[in-house]
């Protein structure tokens, strides 16, 4: 499979996505670290607290539809406008609910901190307009992400420049939330315009309630699974802030910034290779097993290319990016970066379960990871602080993305493939 896609649309699509995310990673880390230095641990912690709280409820917005809608568009592109319109409408409703829940949560947790309320409201508005990015699924299905990459990169660079200007002008933390929301709003509008042009007049964007309810019946386990994943990624930040304050969260947020920025890579691999995996499945069980094995190994190999050097050089990376003020984030980064290895193999497993229409397993396994994360956070954070949060995050990813594969007989073969891939990642280019 890897050899076949080298000169294919999948390889080109992957290249465009990597270019987009790569620019975001490099510029985002540099600008983000500058913002962190400027704001200081306390204000940077408050900013990340608001982002984490909004992200938890914003995880409801995709409704688990992404891969399912891409699959349907691939099978019947003439109904692409109906799928995009339906997805957009349902996600807009979910985003409104997410905004209300986020505001209710922040006023309950911080009843006497109106500044936190304002940050959550501004970020919530950005979440609402992200529903317009549903049009991206059309370009994913046709492996034409290059049409979105250019405008989005220009927008991202513009917002990054404005953030630098905000630092130089001495702006408060609210302005950084405003700029984040501005990027989300503009990106959503641009995506909608571009997808309407690509669909053409003969394939209009239409909301169909029945179609949406139909896909929700299959996607709801994926939606709950995505929500639980975001919760156990972000809940450590909320618990850390609640127990030790925003300054401790500021340290933790600095440590996890680079790994979180790199977490796009398995998503890019998955979205680019899903059509190829689906075709391999149609070629027979043996061809599909071999393709899946190569996919697992490729994910592990890519993860190790990040985890090993970052873990070894973590203190130096923190000093270089964030300065001596955040020095205690170095050991935290060295531990936390290993969550990426299990995120990679977990995303790869998710593609197989999607192809097999076994979407109930990601739900239960993610909930298991959530339970492990919360228990570990409460046990470790009071004693170990930000390092306890990092250890809890790694433990939950190990359980949710890997060990859980051995719980049910239907996923044990995939678990063995994950384990074999971690033992022999360098063989990803081989045919068997």
Does the pLDDT of residue 2 top 60, yes or no? no
Q: Other CB atoms closer than 10 Å to residue 2's CB: what's the count?
A: 17
User: Across the chain, what does the average pLDDT equal?
Assistant: 83
State the residue range of the domain holding 215: 2-427
Instruction: Take residue 338 and report the two structure tokens written for it.
Output: 């290993």
* Model pLDDT, residue 113: 85
> Cβ contacts of residue 126 below 8 Å, gap of 6+?
180, 181, 182, 183, 184, 185
Does the pLDDT of residue 279 top 80, yes or no? no
Position 195 in a domain:
yes
Beta strands in 278-334 (DSSP E): none
Percentage of the chain modeled with pLDDT above 70 = 89
Position 399 in a domain:
yes
Instruction: Take residue 108 and report the two structure tokens written for it.
Output: 């309950």
Position 57 in a domain:
yes
Count of structural domains, the chain: 1
Q: Distance between CA 411 and CA 41 in Å, rounded?
A: 43
Position 175 in a domain:
yes
Burial class (CB in 10 A: 0-12, 13-18, 19+), 355: middle
More confident residue, 305 or 214: 305
Instruction: Report the range of poorest mean pLDDT among 149-158, 265-274, 398-407.
Output: 265-274
Task: Find out whether 336 and 256 touch, Cβ atoms under 8 Å.
Answer: yes
> Cβ contacts of residue 66 below 8 Å, gap of 6+?
137, 140
Position 123 in a domain:
yes
In 3D, which of 314, 340, 311, 339 has the Cα closest to residue 329? Answer: 314
Token pair 């059509």 is found at: 275
Q: Distance between CA 188 and CA 128 in Å, rounded?
A: 9
Residue 278: pLDDT band by 50, 70, 90 thresholds? low
* Model pLDDT, residue 274: 66
Position 116 in a domain:
yes
Position 432 in a domain:
no
Position 220 in a domain:
yes
> Cβ contacts of residue 318 below 8 Å, gap of 6+?
254, 255, 326, 327, 329, 330, 333
Q: Residue 79 has what DSSP assignment?
A: G
More confident residue, 8 or 178: 178
What are the helix (H) ranges across 110-208?
114-129, 136-141, 146-168, 173-199
In 3D, which of 175, 177, 128, 132 has the Cα closest to residue 152? Answer: 132
Residue 384: pLDDT band by 50, 70, 90 thresholds? very high
Task: Find out whether 91 and 214 touch, Cβ atoms under 8 Å.
Answer: no
* Model pLDDT, residue 390: 93
More confident residue, 418 or 222: 418
Q: Distance between CA 290 and CA 346 in Å, rounded?
A: 18
Give the distance from CA 195 to its chain's centroid: 22
Instruction: Take residue 301 and report the two structure tokens written for it.
Output: 């190999």
* Model pLDDT, residue 1: 45
Sign of CA dihedral 229, 427, 14, 273: negative
Residue 308: pLDDT band by 50, 70, 90 thresholds? very high
Does the pLDDT of residue 335 top 90, yes or no? yes
Does the pLDDT of residue 12 top 80, yes or no? no
Instruction: Take residue 252 and report the two structure tokens written for it.
Output: 């933790």
**Assessment of whether the complete model's pTM goes beyond 0.85:** no
Instruction: Take residue 142 and report the two structure tokens written for it.
Output: 């046709």
Instruction: Report the range of poorest mean pLDDT among 130-144, 299-313, 371-385.
Output: 130-144
* Model pLDDT, residue 346: 87
């Amino acid at each position: 499979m890897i050899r076949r896609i080298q000169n294919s649309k999948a390889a080109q699509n992957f290249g465009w996505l990597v270019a987009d995310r790569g620019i975001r990673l490099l510029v985002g880390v540099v600008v983000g670290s500058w913002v962190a230095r400027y704001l200081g641990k306390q204000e940077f912690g408050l900013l990340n607290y608001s982002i984490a709280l909004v992200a938890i409820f914003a995880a409801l917005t995709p409704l688990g539809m992404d891969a399912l809608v891409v699959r349907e568009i691939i099978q019947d592109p003439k109904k692409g406008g109906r799928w995009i319109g339906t997805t957009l409408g349902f996600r807009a409703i979910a985003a409104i609910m997410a905004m209300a829940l986020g505001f209710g949560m922040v006023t309950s947790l911080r009843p006497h901190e109106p500044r936190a309320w304002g940050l959550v409201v501004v970020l919530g508005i950005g979440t609402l307009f992200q529903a317009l990015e549903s049009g991206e699924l059309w370009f994913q299905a046709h492996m034409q992400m290059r049409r979105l990459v250019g405008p989005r990169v220009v927008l991202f660079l513009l917002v990054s420049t404005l953030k630098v200007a905000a630092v130089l002008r001495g702006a408060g933390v609210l302005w950084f939330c405003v700029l984040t929301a501005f990027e989300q709003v503009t990106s959503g509008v641009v995506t909608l315009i571009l997808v309407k042009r690509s669909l053409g007049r003969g394939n209009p964007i239409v909301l169909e309630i029945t179609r949406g309810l139909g896909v929700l019946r299959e996607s709801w386990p994926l939606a709950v699974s995505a929500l639980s994943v975001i919760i156990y990624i972000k809940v450590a930040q909320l618990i850390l802030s609640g127990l030790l304050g925003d300054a401790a969260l500021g340290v933790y947020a600095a440590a996890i910034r680079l790994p979180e920025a790199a977490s796009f890579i398995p998503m890019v691999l998955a979205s680019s290779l899903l059509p190829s995996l689906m075709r391999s499945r149609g070629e027979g069980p043996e061809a599909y097993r071999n393709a899946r094995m190569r996919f697992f190994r490729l994910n592990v190999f890519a993860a190790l290319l990040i985890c090993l050097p970052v873990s070894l050089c973590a203190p130096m990376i923190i000093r270089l990016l964030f300065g001596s003020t955040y020095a205690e984030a170095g050991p935290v980064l060295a531990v936390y970066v290993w969550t990426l290895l299990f995120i990679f193999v977990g995303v790869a497993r998710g593609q197989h379960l999607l192809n097999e229409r076994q979407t109930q397993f990601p739900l239960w396994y993610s909930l298991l990871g959530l339970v492990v994360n919360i228990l570990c956070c409460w046990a470790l954070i009071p004693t170990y602080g930000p390092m306890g949060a990092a250890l809890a995050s790694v433990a939950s990813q190990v359980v949710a993305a890997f060990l859980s594969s051995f719980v049910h007989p239907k996923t044990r073969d995939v678990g063995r493939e994950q384990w074999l891939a971690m033992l022999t990642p360098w063989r990803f280019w081989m045919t068997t």
